[in-house]
Chains A and B, each alone.
Chain A
Amino acid sequence: MFGAYSSEWIKLRRRAMLLWGLGGGLFFAVLATIFTVERAVKNPSLFPLRRGRVTFAELELPTGLVHGVVDVSTLIGIVALCLFAGAFATEYSQGTLRNLLVREPRRAQLLTGKFLALATFIGVAVVLEIVVSCGVALLLAPGRGITTSAWTSATGINDLLQATLHVFLASVGYGLLGAAAGVLLRSPGVAIGASVAYVIPVEAIIVGAIWSNGDRWLPGQLLSALAHGGTGDSSYHHSLITLAVYMVLIAVGTLAVFRRRDAS
């Protein structure tokens, strides 16, 4: 498995991977942080229609430091989903999977090693996004008169670490959905298109028009709740446990398909 993990890193260090995998998430994280801090309102009574703007009071809480990043955690997850779907499907579409299987015929080890390498890459990306986003928030907040003392308190640091873990776990979950789509559909364009379409509009339509309670059970909704550390509709523990069951089923199914299907 270490061979598969190590060899995947050669591919992950390609310029395109760094640009889209790291750069994409970083772009969303920084942009969200700038918008959150710059558009925050001091006196909410003057802005009855805040349209998603946070208040100074909300930002001055210990969780305020990562408010922007958590708000765009779904987009960060979508970047992970595309990365995983593309990485797996491209091996089929380019024909490189055959070379890999000749050198590592133990398919479970190949799939697991590759997945873990991508998960590590996403972990590095999430940490980088949060570090840069925190730096931007700390830089901009004093200029707007936002008090940041709670951010660097023990509670603030603890909330920061928890938020990092939640966004990372959610991103790996999105990644697993992408990996499953890549293995099943074998075409990067189709795999990315189908999985993004499912996670964003399809689930939103299901929850909005068909099954209002779906946000407690659909994987995309649960991943979003997980990244936020739980929501009013779906608690953190409910999201975590339900997702764990889904993810095990998806991983086992993907592995079974990968092991049994001809690589011709």
Chain B
Amino acid sequence: MTSSVVTSGLTKRFGQRLAVDAVDIDLPAGVVSGFVGPNGAGKTTTIQLLLGLCRPTSGTAEVLGRPISDPASYLGRVGALIEAPSFYPTLSGRRNLEVLTRLGRIDSGRISEVLAMVELSDRGNDFVRAYSLGMKQRLGVAAALLPDPELCILDEPTNGLDPAGIREMRSVIRGLSDRGISVFVSSHLLAEIEAICDHLVMIDNGRIVFQGGVDKLIDAQQSDIIASPEHPADVQALAELCIAAGKPARAEQGEVHVQAPEDWAPELNRQAMAAGITLRGLTVRRASLEEAFFAITEGQSDENGEAG
């Protein structure tokens, strides 16, 4: 599979602060890749490096096969929404997009198309100062779509959107992917990324802590098996049975939470039956992306702590 973005040792230092620390990223083309991490982790700086807005302190990167030292060679095929969308408040949404089409020599016919894609056609002639934050965000996505890009880089596109707007944004991003456009979308909302991404890059304190398929990440995390005995009096005995089998378990509100792989659930059922405990419920709860993220970052902190 070809790559849309490849970085090698990409580093950006602002004075004493290391914002991006030797980042190696390889994004597959044609899929939605998520870029997650807490605020201040280095997501926006990495995106700005990829867009040629700031220069790396060291390291190299290629976007669509072209080096970031020559942004003019690839930005015509890239659409971008960078952090909070910024527009001229006393120009209409349509006029704001016209500023960009003229600058980038893009067919002005695209303006109506992209306004329709983000459902702003009926407000396109209003001044941007009259737009809500959500509308500005959608206009930002429209601006990113203007060049009919091969790669779309969206920095926190769901910021300020209401639940309906978030759902629409997911649909827009999925639509881009369906058309074969590579999407690199950053967010600090992990559940949001989990819902729309195939591939994932996790960053914390400027360093990449994971990259790969979303399923691969979640599958690697320990799942919880939740067993509910028919009689509450059996909860403690069931927990002890699991511990005796080498699986950490705790009794909690009439249920036993067991840290074990998903495929141990039938074995638990058999052992409970053999011990005379009837289960009225047995469910497997897979780790969420958020839990996976914290498991990884806490693991890294521990390693760093031990190393230090």
Contacts and interface: CB of A to CB of B under 8 A. Distances in A.
A6 B100 CA distance: 10
Interface residues of A, number: 26
A105 B71 contact: yes
B53 A11 contact: no
A47 to B, nearest CB: 48
A100 B78 CA distance: 13
Interface in A1-32: 3-4, 6-7, 10-11, 14-16
Contact of A103 (B55, B83, B100): B100
Given A10-B99, A106-B72, A264-B48, A3 B104 contact: yes
A94 interface: yes
A103 B103 CA distance: 6
Interface stretch (B31-39, B84-92, B164-172, B294-302): B84-92
A98 interface: yes
A10 B98 contact: yes
- Describe A's contact surface by its main secondary structure: helix
B99 A7 contact: yes
Interface residues on B, range: 20 to 34
A6 B86 CA distance: 20
Contacts of B71: 105
A119 to B, nearest CB: 18
B235 interface: no
B186 interface: no
B249 to A, nearest CB: 49
B100 A99 contact: yes
B273 interface: no
A105 B100 CA distance: 12
B91 A11 contact: yes
Interface string A107-123: 00010000000000000
A84 B99 CA distance: 18
B104 A99 contact: no
B54 A102 contact: no
Contacts of A102: 51, 53, 75, 78, 80, 82
Interface of B: 44-45, 48, 51-55, 71-72, 75, 78, 80, 82-84, 86-88, 90-91, 95, 98-100, 102-106, 143, 146-147
Instruction: Give the 5 A-B residue pairs with the shortest CB-CB distance, closest first.
Output: A95-B86, A262-B54, A103-B104, A7-B102, A105-B71
Given A105-B75, A262-B55, 6 more contacts: A7-B103, A10-B91, A15-B90, A95-B83, A105-B52, A105-B71
